Copies of this chain bind each other. A is one copy, B any other.
Amino acid sequence: MRIAIAGLGLIGGSLARILVNSGYDVTAWNHRSQSYEAARKNGIVCVKSLPELAASQPDILVLCTPLKAMDSVLKQLSDKLAPSTTLTDVGSVKREVLATVSRYGLRKQFVGAHPMAGNELAGFDASDVSLFDNATWAITVENDTEFEHFLKVARMVCDGVHNRFVVASADDHDQATAQISHMPHVVATALAAQIVRNPQSNLALALSAGSWRDMTRVALTTPDRTFAMVDENPDNVANLLHDISQQLSDIADLLDKRETERNIYDKGLEQFFESAQPYRDVRAKLKDKVPEGVYSLALSTSSHEWANQLVQASRKGGRIEFIDSVEAIVRHFPHLRDE
């Protein structure tokens, strides 16, 4: 397998090094060439331009540049990329990438991907061959995604990076990541901003311990990065923020009723704590590593049914750990909702 990587930052650099270690031929381009010496020492072939990268005729080209550079990168690739080259990316939002890819006529060969891995560092110097250890990826499929292209990306994830993946549409992916990452970054920042305004801020900080530190850790992310998360997934983040704002306001209203309407207060708080119980239960199961099933899914690739099969398996708590042209091996994980 010949892989081209556009962008040798933390994610692109780590991915390139892991794939080299798995025996893939990896060619890379970066917008600045200062990391090339270190990259070459790690067995990565480096080229000077994006057209040159496309001309290396890779099986897969992985876009690892920031989303805001995507337009310019795809513009330079659009008429250079062979139709047989699969185009993928590693961005944390998928709908906007899909739109940009479509604008440049590359949708037919595109399959989005998103490894749930990373840290607060940046750049090739921070790249780390263990960055993806035990990571789960999302691979996104649409109504017109071609199995041949999908399979190449999926095999790179399973065979090349030794990771598992789930399958979802770009829209569903962006809803899910808004929930578990983009929106919580805003909540953490709001908590941090609130302690700054608190008249007891110094006292509060002196008394703060692990729970407060955990809940505000991602507020320490550089504002540029958090702004980008929110700005790239605005509708989903806004919906979740409206929802949680309402829920917190309802609890505050209940607390205001403590003296005057004790029944409503007791019942309301009880329901609130109870509503989080499925989450407590699933986290307990995940912690206890309750035995999980593994099954083989025979893929219907004559029609587009394979995509539906993989999406449904993922929605039920399955993660795919092996795939070829006839079957997927799905491992069942504890999940929140039976579908």
Contact = CB atoms under 8 A, between A and B. Distances in A.
A279 B221 CA distance: 11
A301 interface: no
Contacts of A104: none
A185 B211 CA distance: 8
A251 B272 CA distance: 24
Contact of A201 (B247, B251, B252, B337): B337
Interface string A289-323: 00000000000000000000000001111010000
Given A172-B200, A238-B252, A282-B205, A180 B212 contact: yes
Interface in A219-253: 219-220, 223, 226-227, 230-231, 234-235, 237-249, 251-252
> Chain A interface secondary structure, helix, strand, loop or mixed?
helix
A278 interface: yes
A38 interface: no
A185 B272 CA distance: 12
B220 A280 contact: yes
B190 A251 contact: yes
A330 to B, nearest CB: 12
Nearest to A119: B210
A206 B251 contact: no
Contacts of A230: 255, 269
A273 B280 CA distance: 31
Number of this chain's copies in the assembly equals 2
A34 interface: no
B234 A255 contact: yes
Given A218-B211, A278-B196, A336 B202 contact: yes
A264 interface: no
A117 B185 CA distance: 27
Interface residues of A, number: 99
Interface in A180-198: 180-181, 184-198
A256 B237 CA distance: 10
A166 interface: yes
Given A196-B276, A197-B275, A214-B215, 17 more contacts: A173-B203, A175-B198, A181-B212, A184-B212, A189-B272, A189-B273, A192-B280, A196-B275, A202-B314, A205-B282, A215-B218, A219-B279, A220-B283, A223-B274, A234-B255, A237-B252, A249-B249
Interface of A: 114, 116-117, 136, 138, 166, 168, 172-173, 175-177, 179-181, 184-209, 211-212, 214-220, 223, 226-227, 230-231, 234-235, 237-249, 251-252, 255-256, 258, 269-270, 272-280, 282-284, 314-317, 319, 333, 335-337, 339
9 smallest CB-CB distances across A and B, nearest first, come from: A223-B273, A241-B252, A238-B255, A192-B279, A192-B276, A176-B204, A245-B249, A214-B214, A180-B208
22 contacts: A116-B209, A168-B200, A175-B204, A180-B211, A181-B208, A187-B191, A187-B248, A190-B247, A193-B275, A202-B337, A203-B314, A205-B282, A205-B317, A205-B336, A206-B319, A214-B217, A231-B269, A235-B255, A238-B252, A241-B249, A241-B251, A241-B255
